[in-house]
Structure 1
Amino acid sequence: MSTKTLTTAVLGSPVPPLTPHAISVCLPTWKDNIDYGEGDKRVVDSLVTGYPRFFIHRSIKKLASICEQKFGVSGEQCLLFPTSTVAKHCRAFIIQQAAKDNVHFQVRITQLLLHSDSKDRGNCTPSSKLGTELHIVLFPADKFQYAKLFWGHTGTGISSRYAEYFLSLLPEETAPASPAIYTKPRSAHRYYSVREKRQSPATTPCDALSDDHSTYFEERYGRNLSHDAATFAKRALRRRIAGVLLHDGPAVQDSVGSANSELQPSKRGPGVTEDDVYLFPSGMAAIWNAHQTVSAVRPAAKSVGFGWLYVDSLKILAKWGPGYHFFGFGNEEDIDALEALLEAESEKNPGCSPIMCLIAEFPSNPLLRSPNIRRLRDLADKYEFPIIIDDTVGNFLNVEVMPYADIVVSSLTKVFSGDANVMGGSLVVNPQGRYYRALKDQLSSAYEDIYYGEDAIYLERNSRDFERRVRVIDENAEAVCDFLQSRSRAGGAIKHVFYPKWTTRENYEQCRKRGSDGISTGGFGGLLSLTFHSEAASRAFFDSLPINKGPSLGTNFSLACPYAVMAHFTELKWAAGYGVELGLVRISVGMESKEDLLGRLKIATEAAEAAV
């Protein structure tokens, strides 16, 4: 298969191509990524889409424009949220962050409710409320930077599908004629209330789902997505994540979310059930809610970020609560330092837990380092604090971190979905953890299901062959890394290959999935990173690499990015101090043929060696 058929090379275009709700965007050259970090007009104006927490989809912008014209005053701008609770969190955050800069202004919340004719739609809504109500946070347009931080850090804003559904309920004068990602927002809107509901593209009643073997839910129901379909999808997702389905996969997709599905004891850990799994609209929403939940049941104290954490995870620790201690290498020396800190704090305040919680990734992104999770668990038991583990990069088919964690969070946007067309996240509470009852009680009282039903339906369908895809990706990634490691050892342009097979492997093996016979069943995952002996080699490798280039990971297709440039452009020196060098290239390996992938990597490696 030719390279051109598998890659997108048009700056700013969706990745995957022609995908209205794509979660990645094409940034094909090193210079494009640099210019993106600098906010260069050439790049910014070319973006058709982007990663949803950093780029507000055009459907959401269109809907926000309507709300601003209806409710805004004096040049106000707005962001849109699914519930009043989330909107209030946003308002409090904006006010708090602005006050730190000695800036004060009004932040208002209002809501917009749309009610369709029940005779036309029956119970056919994507969820009982979501999709027909908006909670609108209004603020001065020149203070947008504060609001955008909340949108990006928490991942709790409405999704693009949510916006398009809401827009479809508006009268013809305000509704989009085609998917908004390909249209420009109109400059004026004359009507904001529903006087007459337009006929939906599909009017299929909410009948049983069991006969729907080969057609997407959304194709069958069109805009009239059944509340039952969303409930079915979410139940299937929670069971799949909990590891309690006796049978799973495309062949039995009609039963995995039904009330009488065959279940088994969890593969994730003793006692885990679907009721211990909570769904969120993004991985960051799961992390933010995990931190919020722990904050509500634990005495106020600093948290610990152990090992290199994703940038927004650190921002959550910094901006909610009393702050954090950071042990960015995540090695044995850092555990020694953590233990010393815990002992000192305990002596200073006897009878009090020295920290509120510890958050770690297993393994970390992008350095693929795995912490000594057993030592961390021993410290948590001794000094009485909960552990939150993000297993997104390893994924729960490859690693089993539940025995060492009180909460496990995952970005379902990544390999669990694979198709790069929907966001999602999960939080799983460990029933064997010492804080289980307190965490469950808090979630029972505070959890809101804000995961939009249509997004859940897409994610459920994407994840049906999760296990098969993971095995292919693991095998491909190991072959790619073996090749790159051989070139590195030969003294070429590659300085280091970061991959769990060689990076802190002894720690990775502690949690690697094994069968009843003790033989490893889990792979090393699909993510790897490379550093080079010169920046010129990094640029040559990246620019010559004939695969998709853009943010995100865990996609069914291979995807690369210059990670430090993309994630830490304003703090490159600080990141480099922890090993995340300017020239680091991160590659998420996909499902292309192994021979094809190796051929592509050879092209890029030879270009890097020529540059050296």
Structure 2
Amino acid sequence: MAIKQKYVLGEVIPNSPHAVVSNLPTLTDVCAYEEKAEYVAEAMGQGYPRFVEHRWIQSLTKRMLADLDLPVVSAVVVRSLNESLRHRILGIDPAIHCHSFEQGVYGLAMDLFYFDPESDYKEAEVRLKAFVQHTGCRISSRVAEGVLRGLGCLEVESGAESGAEERINRERIGTETIVEMEDRLSRSIADLSGLQSSGSVSITASGMNAFYTAFKAMQSIQLARGRTQWLQLGWLYVDSGFILQKYLSAEETLSVEYAIGDTESILRTVESLGDSLSVVVLECPTNPFCEIADLKRIAEAVWAQGGLVLIDPSIVSLYNINCTPYADAVVTSLTKYAGHSGDILAGAVVLNEASWAYSELKAVVQTHAISLYGADLIALGASMRGAEASVERMNENTRSVVAFLKRHPKVKRVFAVSENQHERSYLKHSQALGSIVSFEVKGSMEAFYDHLQLVKGPSFGTDFTIVCPYFYLAHYDLVVDTSPQGLLNQLGIDRNTLRISVGCESVDSIIQALESAFSFA
């Protein structure tokens, strides 16, 4: 018998045409999504960009193909790319072609990558879409909306943005131009990072574009110095991990130390790499286990060897932790926390002004970063005005949820920032926790998940609570590998670990929903 769900399959939260969260109410739905079941794809017209191509982006793609008198085959629309990245994409496969549209055509310069319909392009399609996904260069739903409105293809809804934001260099919001707004938001991010200059910050089209931009900048600098050994500490967001696995050059190699809390082992590895050490990459805290590395000792060891440090603190946000003193570059997803409403796609690269590589990094970042579209920047600016208050409420509610889970008889283990030995060393204040708690269910995780009456799916750092079967949505290939040699089994990790992003609702209502679901576990 089907379980009545508060949020149905594919329902978007919030009720916004740009919402980045769509609901996956049962574990069967999650697995079906991962296995590309048609019924799940049909239910999702929008959602987390890594998982779903927005319906307006699909419409714009078809329009562009028609304008070129091309058959409707698979294609990808991106913001206008620099020559290096455009050639990188064309080099993926000979079946890929590109048409570059100047700004005068649709009001915004864009590149359309498409395939020769006479060719066997399916493998090339998979590789192209993976590259665009991993590097975060796909257009946003607001880009598609602005262009389609300009073409008269969408009716203007009450309260919706018009297409005027396409002219981003002349647009004014009140007394502020888009350029002035970007500088103001960059200054806010610089302040959160303890930096003097907004020039140290690049606001990008997505968190993944921020990561890829920093990756390319560091790679180019270190390869020129003959440094080829990359080191990953702990788990990374899946697309960040893919970049390290797939886009290093032939002479570069990647090592992984999963035990991020074993500082002595990490230091020995860093020292052993010597002059070959290129970049050390980590999330702090880690996702989903909320581990905090000893950043100071690790950074000092890396810098002593001439390496660079890249840190992603998205899991708790720049509002709760400042990693800049221990990194050459910090990358973060502003979709989370800063975009707490749940309908914004943005990221940022923050460069440490004290880094020996600062000037070189800044120059390369500026050539690779895809700037945030005007309408997305406006939405981010509006959201950031209330972000600090939302983060404070998330921090407060998370502490209560952690306490509830730790004493619950149907919870085996709880992973939270508050459980770390380095909690007080690197977080900004004693209340800084972020929204993330992960836990293992004692009993049936599937029954608990299916009966839980909260939003279920990817993303975090939103005003509303989201529950995610983390490894199913981030590392499904590891979940289905149940062999003794499988990575999760080797590391002793429960594939059924759940991650909850605690929102700003009444904490009693969150706990009540959890308690009710536990009765079915």
In structure 1, list runs of 5 or more residues that go unmatched: 97-103, 117-129, 180-200, 202-215, 244-266, 347-352, 515-519
- SS at 1:428's partner residue? strand
Hey, what's the Cα distance between the residues in 1 that align with 2:166 and 2:67?
Answer: 25
Pair 1:168-2:164 in alignment: no
Pair 1:604-2:511 in alignment: no
- SS at 1:506's partner residue? coil
Pair 1:542-2:449 in alignment: yes
- SS at 2:412's partner residue? strand
Structure 2 residue identity aligned to 1:137: F
CA contact (8 A) 1:564 1:580 kept: no
Note the 1:187-226 alignment, pairs <5 A.
218=161
Hey, what's the Cα distance between the residues in 2 that align with 1:356 and 1:94?
Answer: 28
Structure 1 residue identity aligned to 2:25: P
Hey, what's the Cα distance between the residues in 2 that align with 1:137 and 1:15?
Answer: 31
Hey, what's the Cα distance between the residues in 1 that align with 2:268 and 2:90?
Answer: 36
- SS at 2:243's partner residue? helix
- SS at 1:581's partner residue? coil
- SS at 2:181's partner residue? helix
Aligned alpha-carbon RMSD (Å):
2.6
Match of 1:191 in 2: none
TM-score, structure 2 as length reference: 0.89
CA contact (8 A) 2:467 2:498 kept: yes
> Which digits, 9 at most, give the CA deviation of each residue in 1:166-218, with x for residues without a partner?
12232x5xx23478xxxxxxxxxxxxxxxxxxxxx9xxxxxxxxxxxxxx894
Hey, what's the Cα distance between the residues in 1 that align with 2:136 and 2:289?
Answer: 24
Match of 2:247 in 1: 320
Q: 1:602/1:448 Cα in 2 relative to 1: closer, same or farther (>3 Å)?
A: closer
Hey, what's the Cα distance between the residues in 2 that align with 1:309 and 1:222?
Answer: 35
Note the 1:317-396 alignment, pairs <5 A.
317-321=244-248, 322-332=252-262, 335-346=263-274, 353-396=275-318
Q: 1:65/1:220 Cα in 2 relative to 1: closer, same or farther (>3 Å)?
A: closer
Q: Which has the larger radius of gyration?
A: 1
Match of 1:115 in 2: 104
State the Cα distance separating 1:369 from its structure 2 match: 1.0
Note the 1:149-548 alignment, pairs <5 A.
149-170=130-151, 172=152, 175-177=153-155, 218=161, 227-229=171-173, 230-243=178-191, 268-269=193-194, 271-299=195-223, 300-321=227-248, 322-332=252-262, 335-346=263-274, 353-444=275-366, 446-487=367-408, 492-502=409-419, 505-514=420-429, 520=430, 522-534=431-443, 537-548=444-455
State the Cα distance separating 1:12 from its structure 2 match: 1.2
> Which digits, 9 at most, give the CA deviation of each residue in 1:93-121, with x for residues without a partner?
4634xxxxxxx5332221223538xxxxx
CA contact (8 A) 2:267 2:298 kept: no
Hey, what's the Cα distance between the residues in 2 that align with 1:166 and 1:134?
Answer: 11
Match of 1:54 in 2: 51
- SS at 1:305's partner residue? strand
Pair 1:571-2:478 in alignment: yes
Structure 2 residue identity aligned to 1:105: P
Hey, what's the Cα distance between the residues in 1 that align with 2:212 and 2:78?
Answer: 15
CA contact (8 A) 2:102 2:110 kept: yes
Q: 1:284/1:177 Cα in 2 relative to 1: closer, same or farther (>3 Å)?
A: same
State the Cα distance separating 1:228 from its structure 2 match: 3.6
> Which digits, 9 at most, give the CA deviation of each residue in 1:344-393, with x for residues without a partner?
433xxxxxx32211111110111111112122112112211111111111
Hey, what's the Cα distance between the residues in 1 that align with 2:76 and 2:458?
Answer: 23
Pair 1:134-2:134 in alignment: no
State the Cα distance separating 1:551 from its structure 2 match: 1.2
CA contact (8 A) 1:398 1:525 kept: yes
* 480, 489, 502: which one aligns with 1:589: 502
State the Cα distance separating 1:323 from its structure 2 match: 3.6
- SS at 2:260's partner residue? coil
Segment of structure 1 superposing worse, 469-478 or 43-52: 43-52
Hey, what's the Cα distance between the residues in 1 that align with 2:85 and 2:165?
Answer: 33
Hey, what's the Cα distance between the residues in 1 that align with 2:468 and 2:377?
Answer: 27
- SS at 2:28's partner residue? helix
CA contact (8 A) 2:99 2:112 kept: yes
CA contact (8 A) 1:72 1:138 kept: no
State the Cα distance separating 1:330 from its structure 2 match: 1.2
Q: 1:579/1:60 Cα in 2 relative to 1: closer, same or farther (>3 Å)?
A: farther
Alignment length, in residue pairs? 496
Match of 2:484 in 1: none
CA contact (8 A) 1:81 1:135 kept: yes
Hey, what's the Cα distance between the residues in 1 that align with 2:287 and 2:328?
Answer: 21
CA contact (8 A) 1:15 1:550 kept: no
- SS at 1:236's partner residue? helix
Hey, what's the Cα distance between the residues in 1 that align with 2:363 and 2:345?
Answer: 27
CA contact (8 A) 1:495 1:532 kept: yes
Q: 1:70/1:219 Cα in 2 relative to 1: closer, same or farther (>3 Å)?
A: closer
Structure 2 residue identity aligned to 1:284: M
State the Cα distance separating 1:42 from its structure 2 match: 2.2
In structure 2, list runs of 5 or more residues that go unmatched: 482-486
> Which digits, 9 at most, give the CA deviation of each residue in 1:525-579, with x for residues without a partner?
1101111234xx2112212222111111111000111111111112224245445
Aligned-pair identity in percent equals 27
Q: 1:13/1:323 Cα in 2 relative to 1: closer, same or farther (>3 Å)?
A: farther
CA contact (8 A) 2:33 2:40 kept: yes
Q: 1:84/1:526 Cα in 2 relative to 1: closer, same or farther (>3 Å)?
A: closer
TM-score, structure 1 as length reference: 0.76
Hey, what's the Cα distance between the residues in 2 that align with 1:575 and 1:23?
Answer: 28
> Which digits, 9 at most, give the CA deviation of each residue in 1:472-511, with x for residues without a partner?
1100011011011011xxxx32111110111xx2223220
Q: 1:384/1:221 Cα in 2 relative to 1: closer, same or farther (>3 Å)?
A: same
